[in-house]
Amino acid sequence: MSSEGFLKEIQAIGEKFLLKLQKLPKAETVEIVSFSVVLLFIATVLVLTIIACSCCCYSCCGCDGRPDSRHRKSQVSPAAH
């Protein structure tokens, strides 16, 4: 997919989202609740992704950006009988 196609898709999704937000005050209770649940799910996934990425970067690089030598993996050889 080209970058123009991707931008058009994002714009279309944004327009649908704005249209849904505009119709929300007149919507039924079930629609409002379902829309809220979908938004809550999306927000939860984004927050958990950010937390996972930041924890991974923190354990890998440390606060100062240098690799932490304490977390280096060591190679284990099989024991000879």
DSSP per-residue letters across 57-72: HHHHH-TTSSPPGGG-
Q: What is the pLDDT of residue 61?
A: 66
- What global pTM score does this model have? 0.53
Query: Is residue 56 over pLDDT 80?
Result: no
Confidence category of residue 44, pLDDT binned at 50, 70, 90: very high
Percentage of the chain surpassing pLDDT 70? Answer: 77
Q: What ranges make up the beta strands (E) of the chain?
A: none
Give the DSSP letter of residue 26.
G
Residue 43 has which token pair? 């927000």
Task: Say which residue, 15 or 67, is predicted with more confidence.
Answer: 15
Average pLDDT for 60-74: 58
Task: Give the domain ranges of the chain.
Answer: 28-57
